[in-house]
Amino acid sequence: MNALQSIISKVATRAPLTHEEPATALDTMVSVQAPSSQMGGLLMAMRVRGETVEEVVGAGYAMRSTNGASECATRSR
């Protein structure tokens, strides 16, 4: 089981993620190391369960460190 699969399994049990886990998930998604089905599954599971502040902050830090924020802004134009 890879890191993203472990995180999906944890979210499926409605457990909150640590600060590092959303960062790991986002790094995996940005580097295109995960199938789109896993990416969508994680995002949908988090949305259904509800995101925690720690998860949003962890994802934000990951986006800043990978320059993902500017890539996302460029894609939305």
| Cα–Cα distance measured from residue 76 to residue 41, given in angstroms and rounded to the nearest whole number | 22
Single pTM value for the model: 0.72
Which band of pLDDT confidence, cut at 50, 70 and 90, is reported for residue 67? low
Report the range of poorest mean pLDDT among 6-15, 25-34, 65-74.
65-74
End-to-end CA distance of the chain: 36
Q: Nearest 5°: CA angle at 10, between 7 and 14?
A: 130
Which domains, and CATH codes, for the chain?
3-75 (1.20.970.10)
Question: Which is nearest to 17 in space by CA: 47, 60, 48, 46?
Answer: 46
CB 10 within 8 A of CB 21: yes
Give the model's pLDDT for residue 33.
78
